[in-house]
A and B are shown apart, each in its own frame.
Chain A
Amino acid sequence: MRRLFVILALLTFGLLTFALYEGVVAAPTEQTMGEVQRIFYYHVPSAVTAFTLFLINFVVSIIYLARRSPRADALAVSTAEVGVVFCTVVLVTGPLWARPVWGIWWTWDARLTSTLLLWLIYVSYLILRRYSTSGQTPVIAAVLAVFGFLDVPFVYLANRLFRTQHPQPVYFGGPGSGADPRMTFALLMNMAAFFAFAALVCGCAFAWSAPGRTLKKLRPWKLCCCRM
């Protein structure tokens, strides 16, 4: 188990470094937007990672409600926490990118609003976990996670409807259209790196929750030292 952790950690570190290089240095500069466009290599992978983690959280919460397995709960917490981190990255990099490029910090389109809502919902999930005095916090949190995720399609629908009724500022669909293959490569590298990171952290939480252990707050430096 420890070897697996070390291998995965090294892989993550390698991927992150390589992806950083690809994104910031190697990928070609975008024609119209300039260097600012490089935020895209962080913005999109973070969004994909966050959404995947929240999806996993939803599935694992349902599994927890059915089976009451503490490992499912540990995975639920970790995916929520890491998901919120990545979601925060999305919400911060978005405006940072939008402002110089399109002149606006924010717009209430379907994607941005859905992301903000996801962030709000999962932050409220984490707050509930923190403030709960119940002996069965995982049950209550799992229920909230189910509600939260089921809400997402409604957010998307409501916002699309809103958008058709209130014309949004026009901006083109992103540099995916006719992109240089090197840019796609950089994007995919970053995505792989973020997924590896998420897998590392959540995997540790899952491993640490094996029967007989109590899951405490993850302290990465301790993970390297103690035996698994």
Chain B
Amino acid sequence: MSFSSSPANSTNANLIQPTASSAVSLSHVSKIFGRFAALRDLSTEFAAGKLYAILGDNGAGKTTLLRAMVGLAPPTRGSITVLGTPDLRAATAEIGYIAHPSLLYEDMSGMENLRYFAALYGIRDDRPCQHAIHAVGLDPALTRRVGQYSQGMRQRLSLARALVHDPKILFLDEPFSNVDVVSAREMVHVLAHMRDLGKTVFIVTHQAALLQGVADEFVCMAAGQISARTRDLPVAQERGAPPASTRV
């Protein structure tokens, strides 16, 4: 695997140049589907080593933003720089991603899934898989197929899949949805630990309360733009984030 860093794709003076310690920076990013603009001229920077909670109503553009940063939905306009390179394909080895669907094969066991995805990142060894599956609190000896897992177990395995190659940045899209309270709290614990290890973590969620005291910053989105960035959850809620939900 070679990570060739291609030159920045524009020398436009309006381009926001990323600072050295930024994990992700966006410069005038717009994402347009047909006539609908999911992201509108978004320009911002996210520093490395922090845990960001991305909040907002449905349709605010949270998932689109995440997918754009991961490289699944290239922006219609503007550019995104991840870990210093605008070529998102080069940064893929350092990115871990959880989406709303589980991104797992139902007919394989947990470890089989992990071994396969680890192989995609060039990992031949079993140990990172064992390590990742322990980290999320699952039993590596479990031979049950993922199709028979509970939702909590499935989300944990998803997280293990995102962690197995020890990425520098984690992008999680609604990791706590339909998950029992215990699993959710444990996942938050794991994610905080990841942040403490120096990783950058982005979490899109409707359950902001789970991240209170853990998130370094709450990023509120509305109508395709970032409406507020604050360290304080109550302020974030005032500024339009959905109310803290006790339903998990």
Contacts and interface: CB of A to CB of B under 8 A. Distances in A.
A135 interface: yes
Contacts of A214: 35
Interface in B67-106: 73
Nearest to B32: A135
Interface footprint category on A:
under 10
How would you classify the secondary structure of chain B's contact residues: helix, strand, loop or mixed? Answer: loop
Interface string A128-142: 000000010000000
A214 B32 CA distance: 12
Interface in B8-43: 33, 35
How would you classify the secondary structure of chain A's contact residues: helix, strand, loop or mixed? Answer: loop
Interface footprint category on B:
under 10
Nearest to B73: A135
A160 B113 CA distance: 51
A75 to B, nearest CB: 20
Interface string B175-205: 0000000000000000000000000000000
A209 to B, nearest CB: 15
Interface in A171-228: 214
Contacts of B33: 135
Nearest to A136: B74
Interface in A117-158: 135
Contacts of A135: 33, 73
Nearest to A135: B33
A97 B33 CA distance: 48
A134 to B, nearest CB: 10
A214 B34 CA distance: 10
Contacts of B35: 214
A214 B37 CA distance: 14
A43 B33 CA distance: 42
B35 to A, nearest CB: 8
Contacts of B73: 135
A135 B73 CA distance: 9
A43 B35 CA distance: 41
B136 to A, nearest CB: 33
A135 B35 CA distance: 11
A214 B33 CA distance: 13
A135 B38 CA distance: 12
B39 to A, nearest CB: 13
A135 B33 CA distance: 6
A140 to B, nearest CB: 15
A214 B76 CA distance: 14
A158 to B, nearest CB: 39
B18 to A, nearest CB: 24
B184 to A, nearest CB: 32
A63 B73 CA distance: 22
A135 B74 CA distance: 10
A69 B33 CA distance: 17
A34 B35 CA distance: 56
A214 to B, nearest CB: 8
A136 B73 CA distance: 10
A21 B33 CA distance: 49
B67 to A, nearest CB: 11
A214 B36 CA distance: 13
A135 B34 CA distance: 8
| 3 interchain residue pairs of minimum CB distance | A135-B33, A135-B73, A214-B35
3 contacts: A135-B33, A135-B73, A214-B35
Interface of A: 135, 214
